[in-house]
Amino acid sequence: MFMNMGERLKQLRLARNLSQEAVARQIGITRSAYSHYEINNRQPVYETLIKLAAFFDVSLDYMIGGTRAAACAPADADPHETRKIWQLLQHMDREQRKQSIRLMNDLIAQDAHAPDER
């Protein structure tokens, strides 16, 4: 069954026992704006959509109605660490975010090329 984005947002919010106000506050929008997303009166801008997917720890595909619920974070990720990383990124300007992403990609690449020490 296809679920539109408003229904998906409401489902994710209720599954976490959160109010619209709590979600809106966490992603930096008004409760009214969030409410309009849930009832499909408005669609969030791309940046807000990314914040929502990160907050609910789901993929963008899943957020907009897809069936893959793959989380943005790895399966073994600590939700508190994931949220902390997200909060840090929110306080950076665009250039700082780009530099952080490059640094993380470099760390992943170094790890992939490191000899296995098992």
The answer to pTM > 0.85 is no
Kindly list the averaged pLDDT for each block of 10 residues, start to end, along the chain of length 118: 85 92 95 96 92 89 70 60 78 86 82 61
DSSP string, 5-16: HHHHHHHHHHHT
- How far apart CA 99 and CA 103 sit, in angstroms, is 6
CATH for 5-63, among 3.40.50.2300, 3.40.50.720, 3.40.50.300, 1.10.260.40? Answer: 1.10.260.40
For residue 38, which of 7, 1, 65 has the smallest C-alpha distance? 7
- How far apart CA 90 and CA 67 sit, in angstroms, is 27
